[in-house]
A and B are shown apart, each in its own frame.
Chain A
Amino acid sequence: MKYSPLNNSAQEKIDGLSIFLFIVLVIIGFLSISSATSDVNQEFYSLSPIAIKQLIWIGGSIVIIFTILYSNVVVIDYFTYGFYAVAITLNIAVLFLGREVSGAKSWFGFGGIGIQPSEFAKVATAMALAKYLGTYGIRFQGARNIAICLLIFLLPMAIILIQNDTGSALVFLSFFLVLYREGLPGFILISAVWLMFLAICRIVSEATGISSYYGYGLLLGLGSIMVFFARKDRGISGLITFIAVVSAAFYTIVGTVYSSLLQQYQRDRIELVLGLKSDDRGLGFNLRQSKIAIGAGEMWGRGYLKGTQTKMGFVPEQHTDFIFDTIGEEWGFVGAIVFLLIFCGLLTRIVILAERQSTTFGRVLGYSLACVLFFHLSINIGMTIGLVPTIGIPLPFISFGGSSLWAFTLFLFTFLRVDQVRK
C-alpha cells in the first residue's frame, strides 16, 4: 500500500487528470507572473523577486499536497469543524490585528509576507457545509437545516464584507449554486436571475435618466395579461400577482439603494461595466488598458516575455488580479482559448468527480470546489475583458499570492484525497 492506511475504504488511484491540469495551471501561472514582473530589457531569462516569491509559494503548496496525501481522511473529517472555527476566528481577528491593503482590512502581515484568511475561509466553509449536510439524517430540508446551511457560508461572507473585501465576500454566493445540487429548488436560482435582470434594468434607468415608470408599467402590463389568461386558476393567478408585487417592490428598493446608499465610485464602476459610461482616461483606464493588453495579443500573441502592456504597468495589478492579461497579450487568442479550455476542463472534471462520490460529504465538497473555482474564473476573466465589474478576486492557481494558491491547493487536494478513498 502506497498511502496511509484507510478507513476500510477501497483503494483507488488519485485522479491523475485533475493533478495534471492543476500542474499545468500552476506552471502557466508561474510563467505569467514571471513575465508580467520581468524587466523589459533583460537579456537572459532571469526571475523577478515576485516570481521567486511565487516559487516559494509553490514549494509551500507541494508540502501541503503531500501532507494531505499522507493524511487519513478520518483526520480531515474529524478536524473539519475545528478548521472552520479557526477560519472564522482568524477572519474576525484580522479585523483588529490585520493591516489594510487597498482599503480592505483582510491581511495578516508577517514581515514581508501577508496571509489572507478569507482565502482559507472558502475551503473551511466548504468542508463545514459538506460535513453538516453529510451528517447522518440531515438533508437540505426543513427550516432549521436550511438556516444552518445558509449560516455556515453567510457568516464568513458577512465577516469578510466587514473587512471591506467585497470581491472575496461575493465568492461565498457560489455556495447557493452548490445547494442547487443538494435540492435547492431551481426556481430560487431563476428568481435570482430574474431579480438581477430587474436590478440591471433599474440601474440603467437610474444612470441614464430613463423614467423608472416604464419598468412599473411593464410589470403591471405583463402581470395583468398573464393573470387574464390564467384567470380560471386562482392559484396561478395569485402566484403571478405575488411575483409582480415582489418584483415591483424589489425594483423600487434597488432604485433607492443605488441612488442613495451606494458610493459614487461604486456607481461609476457598475455603470462602466454596463456600458453606460465610457471614460478612457479616468476610471475606464484600467479596463481599457486591460482590453488593449488582450487585444494586442491578436491571434497568436506577442510572444512570451514580450507583453509590454503588462510589464510596463499600463495594466493594473498585472501579476495578481489582471494576470489573465499577460496570457492574452503574450499568447493571443489561441493561448487564451487553450487556457480557458484547460481551466474549464478542470472544472468539468471536478463536477464529474463530485458526482461519482458515494458520500454527501464528498459530493458537497466537490461541488463547492467546482462552484467556487467557477465563480473566480468567470468574475476574474470577465473583469479583464469587460463583461463583469472590476471586482478584485484572484484567478485560482494563476494569480500571484500564497494565500490564494495554498487555499485552492488545499481545497483541490482535500477533495481529490476524499475522492481517492471514496467507497
Chain B
Amino acid sequence: MEKGSKRQVVYIGLIAFVFIIYSLKLASIQLGEVPYKKMAINNALNKITLYPSRSNIFDRKGKLMVYSTQMYDLSSFPYEIKKLDTGLLCSILEIDLPTVRHLILDARIRAKKRQKNNAFNNSALFYANLSNKQFTLLRENIYRLPGFYIESRTDRQFATTTAPHALGYLGEADESLIVLDDYNQPGDLVGITGIERYYEKQIRGIKGVKTVWQDRTYTERGVVKDTQFNYPSTAGPDVISSLDFDLQEYGRLLLNGKKGSIVAIEPSTGEVIAFINNPDYDPNTMVGRERAKTFKSLLRDEQKPLYNRAVKGVYPPGSTFKTVMALIAMQEGVLSPETTHGCAGGYRLGSIRVGCHPHGGPLDLRGSIRISCNSYYCQVFRDIIDNPKYGDVKLGYAALEKHLRSFGLGSQLNIDLLGESRGNIPSVAQLNRRHGDRWKSSTVISLSIGQGEILLTPLQICNVAAIIANRGWYYAPHLVKKIDGFKDTAWDRKYKLKKFTTINPTYFATIIDGMSDVTKPGGTANGTGIADIEICAKTGTAQNPHGKDHSIYMAFAPKDNPKIAIAVLVENGGFGATWAAPIANLMIEKYLKPGVETSKPAMEERLKTSVIK
C-alpha cells in the first residue's frame, strides 16, 4: 500500500468525527431540558379568546333591563413590537407618541401578569373599546401593524338606569379577582358589584377560543383546523330578575330630589320587586372607554352615588319598630290587644322623659299603632324586659334580643348582593359597654321606639313589613328569580327555605288591624292612602343627630293575601308621613294597578318635583 492510500483512514475518521460531534449536539438540543417544543408552539399559535355575551337580564315581567354590546379591542404582543409604524397607530387611535409608549408599557405589564397566570403566550390588551372609526381603520391597516390584532368582547348597555346598585357594573379584573379565579385574565371585564358580581360565574358565559396560526411577523395565517384548539363561546343564560322595570322607573321618579331608598319585596316569595337609591349614577356611563374615568369621578363625588344605601345604609327604624315590639310583648305574654295605657303627652320616669305628640284618651293596642303612641311602647318595652318571670333586666332583654334576631335583624339577610350591612341589634354586652353594668329598663328606654343603638338597613325594614304581611315568616330577599339552566342547592337552601320568627301567627291580627288604620282618618299617615287598596302601614321618624330627622314608612298591601311589602326612607325628610308614606303608597298603587293613572295626581306631582335640600 502506498503512503497515500493509508490516508483514506483520515478522511473516514474525519467523517466519523463530525458525525459524532453533530449527533451529540443534536442530542443536547433535541433531548435536552430546554422546552423548545413549547417555544415553537407559542411561536406559531395565537389563542384568541372569543368573549361570550354576558347574560341578558330581564325584569320579572320579561322586560329587558341589561344587555350586551359588542366592542372591539386592540391587542398586541407587546414584547414583539419592533418596527412599529407609530405614526400610523397614532393617527388611527388619535393619540400622541408618549401615549403610545405608555400603552406599550401597560400592555407589557398585563402580558407579564398573564404569563404568571399561565397564559398561552405573551399577548395582552393594548387599547380597549375601539370606536367605530378606529375599528374600521384598524381592520384595513392591521397588516401594517405586525404584532397587533383585533379582539372582540362584550360590554354592557342598560335599558333602565334606575337600578344601578342592584344590577351592578363591570370592571377590569384586578389582581385579587384573578388570583381568586384563574378563568379571568388581565383586561377581562368582570362584574364588580350587584347581580353582575354575585352571579358572575353564571352571567359571564363561557369563553371560546379561536386558535390561529401566526408567522414570524405575528401576522395571522388562518385558523388552526384542529377542533381541540377551537370552540365557540357560550353566551350567558337569560337572567330573570325579580325587579319590576316599570316600578323601578316610577320609584326613581318619585325619589327625585331626595336622598333615600325604596325597597319592595313580594312577601310570599322574598323576591325584591323594587330596589332604588338616590343618589345613584347612570350605569351607561360606567361602560366602554369612559368606565375608569367615570368611576374615578363617582368615587370623588360628595353625594356618594356609588353608595348602596338600601343594604349598606343603617338607620334607627323609629316608630316602625313599634310593630315588632308589640308582637314580641304579646309572645312574651305581657301584652294583649285589650291592654290600655294612658299618655300625658309623653312618658316620664324619674329624670327620663320620652315625648309624645298630642292625642286623645288612653289607647288600646290597635290604637297605639294607628296613633304611634310613644308612652304606650315605653310601657310595653318595660313590661317585656322587666318581666318578673326573668327576674333580671338583662335576662329580660336577652329574651327580647332573641325575638328580634328571629326577624333577621342584627345580621345579614343574605340578599344576593355583596357588602350587605348587618345593621345593629345591641347585645347585653354592648349595652353593658355603653351604659355600664348597672343599666335598667329606663336606661335603654329609647330602644322601645326604635331609637338608640338599634340600626336597620332599609332592606331590613322592608323585610319586617314582609314578615308582618306573612304573619310570621319570610324568605331571604333576593334580586334574581331565575337563571336559565342554573340549579344550585346552596342557592335553593338560601332562598327557597322559609324562615320563621319566634312569634305565634295569631298575634299578628291586631297589629295588622292597627296598621290598616294608619292611612285612614285618625292615623299617622292620614291622607296618603289609596282608595280601593287596603294598605297596612306604619310611619316612622328616625332621630338623626346630624340633621333633620329621617322620614320612614313601611307598609304592605293588600291586607289579605299581600302582594307587596315596601319600605321607604327619605333622609332628612322629617315625619314619616311627609315623604316616605306618599311615595310608598303610590308605589303600591302602581304595582297593584299597573297601567292605571294614579288616583292621587297632585301627590304624585308634588313628589316628582320636590327637592329636599
Contacts and interface: CB of A to CB of B under 8 A. Distances in A.
Contacts of B16: 344
A309 B43 contact: yes
A340 B37 contact: no
Nearest to B79: A281
Interface stretch (B104-112, B214-222, B310-318): B214-222
A344 B19 CA distance: 7
A141 to B, nearest CB: 13
Contact of B8 (A43, A308, A355): A355
A35 B537 CA distance: 83
A92 interface: no
Nearest to A352: B8
B120 interface: no
Interface in A331-368: 332-333, 336-337, 340-341, 344, 347-348, 351-352, 354-355, 367
A148 interface: no
B596 interface: no
A180 B9 CA distance: 12
B12 A351 contact: yes
B602 interface: no
A387 interface: yes
A341 B19 CA distance: 8
A370 interface: yes
A18 to B, nearest CB: 15
A383 to B, nearest CB: 11
A313 interface: yes
Interface in A262-309: 281, 289, 291-299, 302, 308-309
B223 A299 contact: no
Nearest to A371: B11
Q: Tell me which of A177, A181, A332 has the highest count of chain B C-beta atoms within 10 A of its own C-beta.
A: A181
Contact of A181 (B7, B29, B39, B216): B7
A40 interface: yes
B21 interface: yes
B36 A381 contact: no
A314 B215 contact: yes
B601 interface: no
A382 interface: yes
B44 A308 contact: yes
Nearest to B23: A337
DSSP class of A's interface residues: helix, strand, loop or mixed?
Answer: helix
A314 B43 contact: yes
Nearest to B42: A292
Contact of B30 (A281, A299, A386): A299
B490 interface: no
Given A328-B26, A336-B30, A374-B14, A296 B37 contact: yes
Contact of A351 (B15, B27, B40, B222): B15
Nearest to A189: B10
Interface in B409-464: none
A298 B37 contact: yes
Interface string A367-405: 100110010011001100111000000000000000000
A22 to B, nearest CB: 17
A333 B31 contact: yes
A329 interface: yes
A309 B44 CA distance: 7
A388 to B, nearest CB: 10
Contacts of B216: 289, 312-314
Contacts of A177: 11
B419 to A, nearest CB: 47
Given A291-B29, A295-B37, A328-B30, A374 B18 contact: yes
Nearest to A337: B23
A219 B556 CA distance: 107
B30 A332 contact: yes
B213 interface: yes
A48 to B, nearest CB: 14
Contacts of A382: 22
B78 to A, nearest CB: 13
B31 A299 contact: yes
A8 interface: no
Contacts of A333: 26-27, 30-31
B361 interface: no
Contacts of A377: 18
B229 to A, nearest CB: 12
Contacts of B37: 295-296, 298, 302
Given A312-B43, A377-B18, A182 B215 contact: no
Interface in B221-277: 221-225
Nearest to B82: A281
A209 interface: no
A179 to B, nearest CB: 11
Contact of B23 (A281, A308, A311, A340): A340
A112 interface: no
Interface in B12-70: 12, 14-16, 18-19, 21-23, 25-27, 29-32, 34, 36-37, 39-41, 43-45
A314 B11 CA distance: 36
Contact of B21 (A311, A337, A352, A387): A387
B32 A348 contact: no
A370 B11 contact: yes
A295 B38 CA distance: 10
Interface in B515-537: none
A275 to B, nearest CB: 13
Contacts of B11: 177, 181, 351, 367, 370-371
Contacts of A182: 4
B223 A41 contact: yes
Q: Tell me which of B3, B34, B215 has the highest count of chain A C-beta atoms within 10 A of its own C-beta.
A: B215
A137 interface: no
B39 A296 contact: yes
Interface string B199-218: 00000000000000111110
A312 B214 contact: yes
Nearest to B37: A296
Q: Tell me which of A180, A295, A351, A381 has the highest count of chain B C-beta atoms within 10 A of its own C-beta.
A: A295
Contacts of A40: 213, 221-222, 224
Contacts of A111: none
A142 interface: no
A183 interface: yes
Q: Tell me which of A292, A293, A348, A386 has the highest count of chain B C-beta atoms within 10 A of its own C-beta.
A: A292
A300 to B, nearest CB: 10
A336 to B, nearest CB: 5
Contact of A385 (B22, B39, B213): B22
Contacts of A329: 40
Contacts of B213: 40-41, 308, 312
B489 interface: no
B18 A181 contact: no
A340 to B, nearest CB: 6
A51 to B, nearest CB: 18
B5 interface: yes
B30 A297 contact: yes
A336 B22 CA distance: 10
Contact of A314 (B10, B27, B44): B44
B44 A294 contact: no
Contacts of A370: 11
Contacts of B82: 281
List the 7 closest pairs (A to B, CB-CB), nearest first: A295-B36, A308-B44, A296-B40, A333-B30, A313-B216, A312-B215, A296-B37
6 contacts: A292-B39, A294-B29, A296-B40, A308-B213, A371-B11, A377-B18
Interface of A: 39-41, 43, 177, 180-183, 281, 289, 291-299, 302, 308-309, 311-314, 328-329, 332-333, 336-337, 340-341, 344, 347-348, 351-352, 354-355, 367, 370-371, 374, 377-378, 381-382, 385-387
Interface of B: 3-5, 7-8, 10-12, 14-16, 18-19, 21-23, 25-27, 29-32, 34, 36-37, 39-41, 43-45, 82, 213-217, 221-225
Given A181-B7, A308-B44, 5 more contacts: A40-B213, A297-B30, A302-B40, A309-B44, A311-B44
